[in-house]
Amino acid sequence: METDFTTSRLTGWGRTSPSSARTAEVSRGDVSEFIKDSNRRGVLMRGLGRSYGDAAQNAGGVVLTLKGSAHEAVLDVGAGTLTAGAGVSLHDLLKVIVPQGFFVPVTPGTRFVTVGGAVASDIHGKNHHVEGSFGKHVRRLTLMLADGTIHEIGPEQNPSLFWATVGGMGLTGVILDVTFALIPIETSLCTVNTIRCRNIDVLIEEMSHGDDDHRYSVAWADLLATGSRLGRSVLWRGDHTKLNELSSKDAANALRYEPRHLATVPPVVPSFGFVNKLSSTVFNELWFRKEPRRKEGGHKSIPSYFHPLDAIGSWNRLYGAGGFLQYQFALPFGREDELRQIIEKVAISKTASPLVVLKRFGASNPAPLSFPMPGWTLTVDIPARAEGLGVLLHSIDELVMQSGGRHYLAKDAHTTPLAIRQGYPRLDEWKQIQQSVDPDRRWQSDLARRLELI
Partner 1 sequence: MENAVGEVQNILVLGGRSEIGVAIAREMLTPSTQRVTLACRRPDESKEVEASLTREGLRVESVIFDGGDTASHADFIDNIVATSGDLDVVILAFGVLGSQEQCDDDSQSAVKISHTNYTGAVSIAMEVAKRFRQQGHGRLVILSSVAGERTRKANYVYGSTKAGLDAFAQGLSDAMVGTGASVLIVRPGFVHSAMTTGMKAAPFSTTPDVVAKLTVKGLRAGKRIVWTPGILRWVFMVMRHLPIAIWRRLPMG
The residues that touch partner 1, with contacts defined as CB under 8 A, are: 7, 9, 14, 16-21, 41, 53-54, 58-61, 321-323, 325, 384-385, 389-390, 393-394, 397, 413-416, 418, 446, 449-450
Residue with Cβ nearer partner 1 (292 or 390)? 390
CB of 11 to partner 1, least distance (A): 9
- Asked if 41 and 35 touch (Cβ cutoff 8 Å), the reply is no
**Interior angle at CA 389, CA 385 and CA 390, nearest 5:** 110
Residue with Cβ nearer partner 1 (65 or 187)? 65
- Phi and psi angles of residue 174, each rounded to the nearest 5 degrees, phi first: -95, 115
Residue with Cβ nearer partner 1 (306 or 329)? 329
- Looking from the CA of 130 toward its CB, the CA atoms found within 13 Å total 16
Residue with Cβ nearer partner 1 (10 or 204)? 10
For residue 377, give the nearest of 178, 217, 188, 209 by alpha carbon.
217
Residue with Cβ nearer partner 1 (83 or 353)? 353
Residue with Cβ nearer partner 1 (327 or 430)? 327
CB of 417 to partner 1, least distance (A): 8
CB of 407 to partner 1, least distance (A): 12
- Asked if 112 and 306 touch (Cβ cutoff 8 Å), the reply is no
**Three-state SS at 435:** helix
CB of 367 to partner 1, least distance (A): 24
Pairing of strands 263-264, 312-313: parallel
Query: In which region does residue 377 sit, left (phi positive, over 0), alpha (psi from -120 to 50) or beta (all else)?
Result: beta
CB of 52 to partner 1, least distance (A): 8
CB of 334 to partner 1, least distance (A): 26
For residue 219, give the nearest of 336, 356, 325 by alpha carbon.
356
Separation CA 35–CA 54 (nearest Å): 20
For residue 101, give the nearest of 179, 188, 190 by alpha carbon.
188
- Asked if 67 and 222 touch (Cβ cutoff 8 Å), the reply is no
Residue with Cβ nearer partner 1 (195 or 389)? 389
Beta bridge partners of 178: 84, 141
CB of 136 to partner 1, least distance (A): 30
Separation CA 87–CA 170 (nearest Å): 13
- Asked if 170 and 122 touch (Cβ cutoff 8 Å), the reply is no
Residue with Cβ nearer partner 1 (60 or 155)? 60
CB of 105 to partner 1, least distance (A): 31
